[in-house]
Amino acid sequence: MAERGGEQGSPVPAAARPVPPRWLPLLNVSMSWGCQAVSILGGFVVTPALIHGLGDALYGSWLLVNSFITQLRALDLGMSAGTLKFSAGALARGDREGLRRIHSSSAAVFVLASVLALVATVVFVFVLPRLFPDALSGQQTVILVLGVAGMLDLLFHPQPASLRSRSFYFVPDLAEIATYTVFKLGLVLYLARTGLSLWLLCLLVLGESVVRNLVVSSAGFWLCDWTRRPSPKAVDRKMLGTLAKYGGGMFLINVGEIVRFQLGPAVIAYFLAPELIAVYSIGGRLVHMAYQALGVIGAVFVPRFSGMHEQGDQQGYEQLLRRANRVTDLAAAYILVNIGYLGLPFLAMWIRKPWVGDAFTVSLIVLPGYFVALRDSPCSSGRAGCGG
């Protein structure tokens, strides 16, 4: 089979290229599921503690602030997915110089994105308390600290993307498991007993972001040597254009995801009451946690799809896509049907609030949409791998 070289850089013979071990995809899926399991199980424990520790109103305020801060992710502009896809392609070609150009170009984009995130945070600090006085009056510092944490995540995005391009999904997932367990599980549960506030919660989010990004970046410098010395001189205008073209579609998808999950709290807080944000959030979260757990099946195969596309392995591409679709369909049908039957008694046991019936109504409304989205997730990963 003919090898496909990159636009820049010389192809390296297939025998000279590092071949990922066969057990690596299984490790990645297992670690991704482990990360999701820790997040989901932790959420089962932490969410009731937050609701009872803060009260319905303050918990709604917390969700409202996060619904705006989370929108800073849109400044990614799809560049993380582009960095992953094109780095995986360069690795498949053995194009070392191309890897350096991709990383330097991506790093420059995310420096700009982090600056824009900081500017947006300052705007939020002044605007949100005036727009939602009942929910966010006096919470300017909370908004600022959470915005800084979001800015740091944007600044360090190229490192986990580079690790994932080598199919090392398990490295950022392991770091997330560790930091989540310490900051967002252990310390939150401790503070829920001793005295919980929005200020303490936002400090925990900032601490988790700092530690996680330092760990992942250190691993990236070690395992992805082309990331050690990004240089403005290595920024490639053509690569910037390629990343932007690829990221455009991913950006629209990300914006759609953000609007779908984050617009609700703002509408509820403006027209109704902050307390009702908790009802909406709990109902949607039950189904969303299942979506997150099952979505990793397709997501971890993006580097393999990209490598097969670069090498012209259409048969392998189609076989991998069929297997991923089959597993996702069976798992999604089993889990989501069980949520439809057992969701209400589970919510009553989990939250122990009089409004769980209304929350379950939200779950039933969003359930069909999540099933359709899950069925498409392996195909989305396949399209991401080939740049489609």
Asked if 160 and 220 count as a contact pair (C-beta separation under 8 A), the reply is yes
- Taking the C-alpha atoms of residue 50 and residue 59, their distance in angstroms, rounded to an integer, is 7
Helix axes 198-223, 56-69, angle to 10 degrees: 40
- Torsional class of 312: left (φ above 0), alpha (ψ -120 to 50), beta (otherwise): left
Of the candidates 220, 237, 238, the residue with the CA atom closest to the CA atom of residue 229: 220
* pLDDT attached to residue 4: 38
* Residue appearing with tokens 């401790």: 190
Tokens of 250: 């991913």
Tokens of 172: 């950022």
Residue 127: which residues within 8 A CB-CB, separation 6 or more? none
* pLDDT attached to residue 13: 40
* pLDDT attached to residue 336: 80
DSSP assignments along 211-272, one per residue: HHHHHHHHHHHHH-GGGSS--GGG--HHHHHHHHHHHHHHHHHHHHHHHHHHHHHHHHHHHS
* pLDDT attached to residue 381: 55
* pLDDT attached to residue 35: 83
Instruction: List the pLDDT tens digit at each of the 388 positions of the chain.
Output: 333 333 444 444 433 345 556 677 778 778 877 887 888 788 888 988 898 888 888 999 999 999 889 888 878 777 787 888 888 888 878 888 888 888 888 898 899 889 999 999 999 999 999 999 988 988 999 999 999 999 999 999 899 988 988 888 889 999 999 999 999 899 999 988 888 899 999 999 999 999 999 999 999 999 888 888 888 877 877 877 777 776 665 555 555 555 555 677 888 888 888 888 888 888 888 788 777 767 666 666 666 666 666 667 677 777 777 777 777 778 778 878 888 888 899 888 888 888 889 999 988 888 887 777 776 666 555 555 555 5
